[in-house]
Amino acid sequence: MSDSSSYLVPARTIEMEQEIKKSRFIASISYAADKDSALKFIEEISNKHKTASHNTFAYVIGNPNGGADVGFNDDGEIGGTAGKPILSVLQMRGIGDVVAVVTRYFGGTRLGTGGLVRAYSGTITMALDEIKLKERVHLVEIRITVGYEFENSIRTTFDKMGLKIKDVLYTEEVAVIADIPESMTDKLRSEIMDLTRGRAEIIVS
């Protein structure tokens, strides 16, 4: 992980199952870009397992390092024994834009409060150990307006920093537009202002 503005997200959907004292616990995990996507996935899994005793869930939408929208539900299990433990594991792993459902088919043996927490957290941990993750980097748009004499130098700076230019507008001056990692904004701004001796207009949005 490069900085707090980047975080891990699921690269694919996964489903894994284990049996604990004759109860089946099935973990289903997927990427969710927003809350609506998370709720849709929860509904799909719940419909798939209509006859299950419980379809408990948790989700983390956004950056888990701060400001994420989180939610969880025990779906009839003892309060605090299912959804919250699932959420805690997701947060501990530092995963964002993720929705997780753990389905339980009751096998006849009661597990008790501690047993349920271990079962739900253990099932989601088992699935997370196998799921493929990818890094999501938060991008911002930067618009650099300069005189024509600086265009080539700015292109060279972008190349050296490994950044790609999205668009170039030619009017009385040159406007270079790009989407860059938020963490590189200050460094690029400093490079450009040094290069142009403070004669660049830089807008970040």
Q: In whole angstroms, what is the distance from residue 133 CA to residue 205 CA?
A: 28
Residue of 95, 36, 100 whose CA lies nearest to 68: 95
Check residue 139 and give its pLDDT.
87
Q: Is the whole model's pTM more than 0.85, yes or no?
A: no
Check residue 65 and give its pLDDT.
87
> H-helix or E-strand containing 128?
helix 112-128
Domains of the chain plus CATH, in order, are 6-135 (3.30.230.30), 138-204 (3.30.70.240)
Check residue 1 and give its pLDDT.
43
Residue of 102, 57, 110, 124 whose CA lies nearest to 84: 57
- CB contact at 8 A, 123 and 103: no
Check residue 3 and give its pLDDT.
56
Torsional sign, CA 65, 67, 68, 74:
positive
> What is the block-wise mean pLDDT of the chain (205 residues), using blocks of 10 residues?
75 97 98 97 98 98 92 97 98 96 96 97 98 91 97 96 96 97 93 96 95
Check residue 4 and give its pLDDT.
64
